[in-house]
Amino acid sequence: MPSQWTERFLVRLAYAEGGCWQWTGHVAANGYGQFWLDGRCQYAHRVAYTAVRGPIPADLEIDHLCRNRACANPDHLEAVPHRTNVLRGVGFCARKARQTHCVHGHAFTTANTYRDPTSGTRKCRTCRAVARERSRRRRQGVHGASA
């Protein structure tokens, strides 16, 4: 592997519980470590996998066997078909597939969910409350109350 970036990469790894190589650099909102390489932001675990095992086939993606997304230990990484990872995983697509959150990202917990009486679909109570508050403010505005 080319030497100019490996040093920069390795200093950001820390040994962690379970033999994980914990990424101490920037971690994305989705929990994956990110590393600036070749002029673009790349996932740290993919960089590590590629460096040790070679290029990742286009139809495969890297799954964390340790479920620690910030881990970049190649021994904890496995190239799996995309679908396997989606079904196993907790990523955006998996969440979408399971519909655990409303479009605004509120969790569909028992307390936060109600059934729309007309359509029967799951609805978010938080969003309903926000919408009600908005229309209440609008009504007040119509009656001349200060905003």
Rule CB under 5 A: which residues touch Zn ion? 20, 66, 68, 71, 73, 76, 102, 104, 106, 124, 126-127
Pick the closer one to Zn ion by CB: 60 or 78.
Answer: 78
Q: What is the DSSP letter of 75?
A: G
Q: Where are the alpha helices (DSSP H) in 20-102?
A: 44-53, 82-88, 92-98
In the complex, minimum distance from the CB of residue 94 to Zn ion, in angstroms, rounded to a whole number: 19
What's the CA gap between 104 and 47, in Å, rounded? Answer: 32
Pick the closer one to Zn ion by CB: 95 or 106.
Answer: 106
Pick the closer one to Zn ion by CB: 69 or 86.
Answer: 69
- Written as one string, the DSSP assignment of 18-33 is GG-EEE-S-B-TTS-B
In the complex, minimum distance from the CB of residue 66 to Zn ion, in angstroms, rounded to a whole number: 3
